[in-house]
Structures are given as C-alpha cells and as structure tokens.
Amino acid sequence: MTTISIDNVSRWFGNVVAVNDITMTIGPGVTGLLGPNGAGKSTLINMMAGFLAPSNGSVTLDGEAIWRNEQAYRQIGIVPERESMYDFLTAREFVVANAELHGLPDPQAAAQRALATVEMEYAQDRRIETYSKGMRQRAKMASALVHEPSVLLLDEPFNGMDPRQRLQLMDLLRRMGAAGRTVLFSSHILEEVEQLAHHIEVVVAGRHAASGDFRKIRRLMTDRPHRYLVRSSDDRRLASALIAHASTAAIELDLREDALRIQAVDFAGFTEFLPRIARDHGIRLFTVSPSDESLESVFSYLVTA
C-alpha cells in the first residue's frame, strides 16, 4: 500500500502560479487527475515524480519526501508525456537498460515480462524511432513497469492513441489498480477519466477544484447553471412563459443578436420543459444552442462551486 501525499503545495514559476495551495492524497487504485490544458496537471505530476521541487508545502511518498530522493524511484514508475526516448535503441534494449538502471537481478527476464505485459514482443527488436505513437506509449509503459513499482504516474497517457490502443491501456491500468497499485493519470477529457478512474481529482487554474468519485464530479458538472442562446418565432412570449418555470434562473432579451439568453438551473428539467412550452404556445424554435459548453467554462464553474 503506497500513498502519495500532497500537503498545501504551491509551485510558481517567476510571477506565474502554476499550482496554488493544493492538498490531496493519492492512494491505491486508479485516480484520474482531470483539468483543462494548462491547469497545472503536469506541474503536479512532475512534483510527484520528483522532477520539480514544490515552492511551498510537501510532496511525500509514504511519508518520505520525493524531491531529491533517488531511492523513491524504486517504488515509482513514470510514463512521461514527452515522446523522446532513446530512439536509436530497440524497445527490448531500452527496457533492459531501464531494468539495469534499477539494479534488477535479471534485467533480461524483467524486460521480457514488462514487454509481454504491454504486448510489445512482436516489435521489441525494432528501433523505437520506427514506432507509431501508440507503440511508443507502450514501450514507455514497459519501461515504467519493469521494476514492478507500487506507484505508476502517467502524464496524459491517452494523447494520440487510437481507440483500440486506448481501451487496451485502460484495461491494463484498471488491472494494475485492482492489484493494489497506486495509479495516477492525468487527462483533460472527462469521459476518459470517467471510464477508468474510481476516484477523480479536478484541478483548474492551479487550484484543487473538486475531489471524489466520478458520479459526484459528473453531478457537479451537469447541475451547474447552463446558458443557452434561443431564437424563436416570438422571443418575448417565450421569455414570459419560461420565466414562470423553476428551471429557469434568468432571461435576457438580446436585441442585437435578436435572441434570448437564458440561464437554466436544472439542466434536465429545462431541456424537457423548453420544447414543451414552445409547442403549447405555438412558438417555433429556430435556434437552441448551449453557449457555455466548453470544458473550460465547466471547469471554471467547478472552481467557484
């Protein structure tokens, strides 16, 4: 059982605060670190991986500091986001080298096991520079697994993978989590995290926005106020009918756009209610478009929730 503890951690680069007073604990099982691009996910993972010192606070592995502690790598396996490896090596040479660097007693056998785990034996004697993105990802995985670490850190592991490779990697990570390892992966795609992680940590603009199982996060996301832009055959009449309903919080008549801007509080209620009320009043709907569905707006709502 290995636990990574992040206690009141901040990290700034000059005047830019990348991580702002975050406290979280990553325990056994699969945890998803979710947030938009530039939220500070990589900075957090780099601190957990011992590649970056926290400006404030502490990052520990079972109570031991990770920064400047090479021995921590006996327990940590890292799959970096960057593509570069020793491309002039074959995957087998690369994974064997990683096993040797870990000081394993039988590097060849350990490498063979790791390559079998990621199903890369068929291409293990080809140079890495000839690999596709998905194959590279699996070679990286093999190198991270070669010493059978109790903690696995993956930075955006699904980027650029095709659906089949994605499912394979998800399956592998799920099994590793079930086997009691502490698996943490970052992603900016909610569906990805939802499919895999039993626990989600959401980071937005360097701050810890939410934490919990995916149902809780999903509910937070769908229950937020939604904004819509609506155009109809009679905007004023539609507005007066809508405002009477509890699912609507505010309506603005946008004369320039010749449309209604509606803020709904109950997502499910509003989407059922709007077409019904239009039909009942004989109003035709021309446009119904959500105006804040971008992931960033969803995330920024979470920060203030």
| Sites of contact with other proteins (CB under 8 A) | 1-2, 13, 18, 28, 37-43, 45-46, 49-53, 68, 70-71, 73-74, 76, 78, 80-82, 84-86, 88-89, 97-98, 100-105, 110, 113, 116-119, 143, 145, 147-150, 155, 168-169, 171-172, 175-176, 179-182
- Least Å distance, CB 281 to other proteins, is 50
Which residues touch 116 (CB under 8 Å, ≥6 apart)?
none
CA 153 to chain centre: 12
- Least Å distance, CB 194 to other proteins, is 20
The length of the chain, given as a count of residues: 305
- Least Å distance, CB 197 to other proteins, is 18
Smaller CB separation from other proteins, 156 or 266: 156
| Cα distance between residue 98 and residue 68, in whole Å | 20
| Cα distance between residue 115 and residue 143, in whole Å | 8
> Longest Cα pair distance anywhere in the chain, in angstroms?
78
Residue 50, burial from CB neighbour count under 10 angstroms (0-12, 13-18, 19+): buried
- Least Å distance, CB 244 to other proteins, is 47
Name which of 216, 162, 164, 208 is nearest 190 in CA terms: 216
Smaller CB separation from other proteins, 14 or 282: 14
- Least Å distance, CB 255 to other proteins, is 41
Contact (Cβ atoms closer than 8 angstroms) between residue 37 and residue 188: yes
Contact (Cβ atoms closer than 8 angstroms) between residue 153 and residue 76: yes
Which residues touch 51 (CB under 8 Å, ≥6 apart)?
none
- Least Å distance, CB 100 to other proteins, is 4
Tokens of 142: 């093999």
Smaller CB separation from other proteins, 33 or 274: 33
Smaller CB separation from other proteins, 87 or 257: 87
| Strands ordered across the beta sheet of 248-254 | 248-254, 259-264, 226-232, 285-290
Smaller CB separation from other proteins, 180 or 275: 180
Smaller CB separation from other proteins, 102 or 231: 102
- Least Å distance, CB 241 to other proteins, is 47
Smaller CB separation from other proteins, 21 or 100: 100
